Structure 1
């Protein structure tokens, strides 16, 4: 079985939004060097009706309408002489979409709930560096014999974060279902809303977590072959673990904090990282509402702040797990308007020096509640959402919290969710041993 590429076409805005070339500014949050990656993922749609219209025509028509207000998605990322990135927009440019097919049913592939790596990689565009700058969003629609389809996306992280991309796709979905306009008008005003202060003022010691290294590229680290593993997380196990943490610490923890601490420990332990090596737990925290004033609802640029917890590998593997969870919990309290503004000013002062979080970064992100699963083009939402990117927040080993596929047999509401973890191939077996302990309530 293989994906057959049939054609690549271009979706143009149905109503050309401008008639002259121009550039659009990006923020220091957009152009953070840790976000200089293309994010790849796909959504799986089952055939819900024998009379379902051609999804390719439905989706491309809706995208053409959405590309009026979202025309920056057709722009080109370019680097200025000073090393700064900006978006160059020219009339007549559009968004590439690949049309493909597979001669099998989605059911025969278990709706791609935990797909073979080779097949998964072929279901979303995988542009090289130059192509990704020229076309910061590329789509692929793969039709299956059963009438279902997969919509794969490659979106450059400099244009938007996960929330921003979900805002776009949910808007397209509403148009596909018959809406005459987008539910939320997109807002670009990035330089004004998240520009640096004059003069810049850095009030937090970011240099304790971040280093300046122009030669270091976080995504070129050589740790050997890596693999993806999908692990179920049952609600009863998670609830018991949270109670375990509460009994020993007196604090209540969110799912993200508690499970993140456990997976971080399991990964560090399985990877045989020397005890004295500094390791980082990295995640994004939305700043849309905590800024003063808050960002407008239609803001679809990078509206998240990178947060870090730093320990030695020995501390992660040997200290009580609730102490690690407490550090993750407390790190959120740093995120204030002043913290964000200081970070933007820190970027302005040091951008050309190369700001990096260094090696041994574990990136964590929760995809259960940011709108990926609500994208309904008229025949129901996706049954599976699956990220492909192994590069995230300077990490080459990210962890995603994902909802169960709606086609999982025997899974009901309240049965939990799953995590997709990227890790070193040699660490897989020991990592799974640690995760089995979680399932057996051996904390």
Structure 2
């Protein structure tokens, strides 16, 4: 399928949001070196919907309205000379770039379920130069298909917001597009350096150093140089429920879907990698701190509001122990999610920022997108039928795993793997598929 990019429009707020140029500081969670990546993803809206309006005009007009309160997204990220941390520069006349593209084919209802041409899908979201200076916090692309469907591709720098913060913004855009007067949209809150800044003086009272590594010369996203590919799975919720019930009988522990499925996939990946038994491996994930910090973060806070959590084991432990024990380790790691952990993590960033803070050298990143509200972003054509991550760098991992909204009763999983271990990973998953005669099938 051929794609043609027609123009790039710079969308500005409907009226000037400020009367003088200024700089906004970011929080220490925003500037965490492991989050200095661009998240690229797609929202897919197939054709055959009643609204015949041009999505490019509808969405760009709504963007202009939403950018009035969310004007920092029209600014630029620049490094501060004093310490090289990013900060947000806002100048009069700044705008958010939106690319218009067209494609001649049909956008099927099943698009985004994993069977699409990866190289074509990758063209549906902007791919800015990660080394550019200054950095655009957000760039969008709207691709219209001849069938009437469209794809909204987003490139969002993680320093400006996380998935929850981005969804707050897109929800505001969707409300404006539908002309519902902002019902249900909360006012955005910045105050990042105040709400999530270091203490004075900074102090690390939680044993953070047991979870994080310091290596000034280490780049977590350097990777091995080997090709990384995507592997999609559909996991039947009923099967996973039987697995969790079986583990409860064995361990007396009740596991969430994230804990159980994360353990199953991580175990299969480590076995397929065939690592030395004594090599340290890390399961990394993020946990929301919105209600952990005291006082809780305001509802409209749209900066990064998660901290990374880590499970450190050896490859031999993960490969050799019952999978429920790995799930138990993931469950147990949640005990770190306290207000003091958050404060110490922020203070650790303040004290050791230049020393290469990282989660380890063999990190598998896991993130759960099922409850971020992606599917509720309705510009007037209904919500998207699929959300497709394109990024392969997250949480200090070059092989992240995404849990995505699936069809009713299913969990869709996207796993990034080095090409050479895909067959081994599938073999390990096949063994699990036979547990309780369950269904765990590649898409």
**TM-score, normalization: structure 1?**
0.95
Match of 2:35 in 1: 35
CA distance in 2, matches of 1:132, 1:230: 35
Matched, 1:100 2:101: yes
SS of 2:285 mapped into structure 1:
strand
Matched, 1:423 2:417: yes
CA distance in 1, matches of 2:229, 2:134: 27
- Give the alignment of 1:165-204 within 5 angstroms: 165-181=166-182, 183-204=185-206
CA distance in 1, matches of 2:339, 2:92: 37
CA distance in 2, matches of 1:195, 1:110: 44
C-alpha distance 151-374 of structure 1, shift in aligned 2 (>3 A): same
Superposition deviation, residue 376 in structure 1 = 0.4
Indicate if the aligned counterparts of 1:48 and 1:380 stay in contact, CA closer than 8 A: no
Indicate if the aligned counterparts of 2:75 and 2:91 stay in contact, CA closer than 8 A: yes
Match of 1:432 in 2: 426
- Give the alignment of 1:36-435 within 5 angstroms: 36-49=36-49, 51-81=51-81, 82-107=83-108, 110-114=110-114, 115-131=116-132, 133-181=134-182, 183-404=185-406, 413-414=408-409, 416-435=410-429
1:200-249: CA deviation from partner (whole Å, max 9, x where unpaired): 11112222221212211111121511100001101121011101211110
CA distance in 1, matches of 2:343, 2:50: 53
Indicate if the aligned counterparts of 2:10 and 2:95 stay in contact, CA closer than 8 A: yes
Superposition deviation, residue 337 in structure 1 = 0.8
1:389-414: CA deviation from partner (whole Å, max 9, x where unpaired): 0000000010001112xxxxxx5x22
C-alpha distance 51-249 of structure 1, shift in aligned 2 (>3 A): closer
CA distance in 1, matches of 2:345, 2:364: 21
Runs (4+) of structure 1 exceeding 3 A deviation are 48-51, 130-133
Superposition deviation, residue 80 in structure 1 = 1.5
Count of matched residue positions in the alignment of Structure 1 and Structure 2:
434
SS of 2:221 mapped into structure 1:
helix
Indicate if the aligned counterparts of 2:34 and 2:394 stay in contact, CA closer than 8 A: yes
Matched, 1:25 2:25: yes
SS of 2:327 mapped into structure 1:
helix
Gaps of 5+ in 2: 439-443
CA distance in 2, matches of 1:51, 1:248: 53
Indicate if the aligned counterparts of 1:271 and 1:424 stay in contact, CA closer than 8 A: no
Match of 2:10 in 1: 10
**TM-score, normalization: structure 2?**
0.95
CA distance in 2, matches of 1:392, 1:383: 24
Q: Considering only aligned residues, what root-mean-square deviation do their CA atoms show, in Å?
A: 1.4
SS of 1:142 mapped into structure 2:
strand
